[in-house]
Amino acid sequence: GNSVTQMEGPVTLSEEAFLTINCTYTATGYPSLFWYVQYPGEGLQLLLKATKADDKGSNKGFEATYRKETTSFHLEKGSVQVSDSAVYFCALSEGGGFKTIFGAGTRLFVKA
């Protein structure tokens, strides 16, 4: 079945450091890929998405590229801020009413 694997956290970085959170997926079809962010005590917010191979999703300085050949969708940001501290979930969906499947989440701490 479909699944998402993302790097374990927590990840602790200093402000302005480069961020990479790895995500790989297994899917039988051609899913869309997503990154969601969850701030403490809050709900899930869609951060970015990509719907087909080689698409790059980007938002708020974050970006991720849909790599079909490596079945990956790694999240990157060139310079993190303290306000980026949150839990990040990689997810996939094949649409057609199929559920969204989440990775385990990666907690990011950014120190001032």
Work out the number of other CB atoms within 10 angstroms of the CB of residue 80.
22
CA gap 58, 73 in Å, rounded: 12
Q: Which stretch binds another protein (CB under 8 A): 15-23, 61-69, 71-79, 99-107?
A: 99-107
Please tell me whether residue 82 binds another protein under the rule CB under 8 A.
no
Is the Cα torsion angle 17, 18, 24, 30 positive or negative in sign? positive
Whether the link from the prior residue into 40 is cis, omega within 30° of 0, is no
Please tell me whether residue 1 binds another protein under the rule CB under 8 A.
no
Q: Considering the complex, what minimum distance in angstroms separates the CB of residue 94 from another protein?
A: 7
Q: How many residues bind another protein (CB under 8 A)?
A: 24
Q: Considering the complex, what minimum distance in angstroms separates the CB of residue 40 from another protein?
A: 12
Work out the number of other CB atoms within 10 angstroms of the CB of residue 33.
27
- Interacting residue ranges for another protein, rule: CB under 8 A: 31-32, 34, 36, 42-44, 46, 49, 51, 89, 93-105
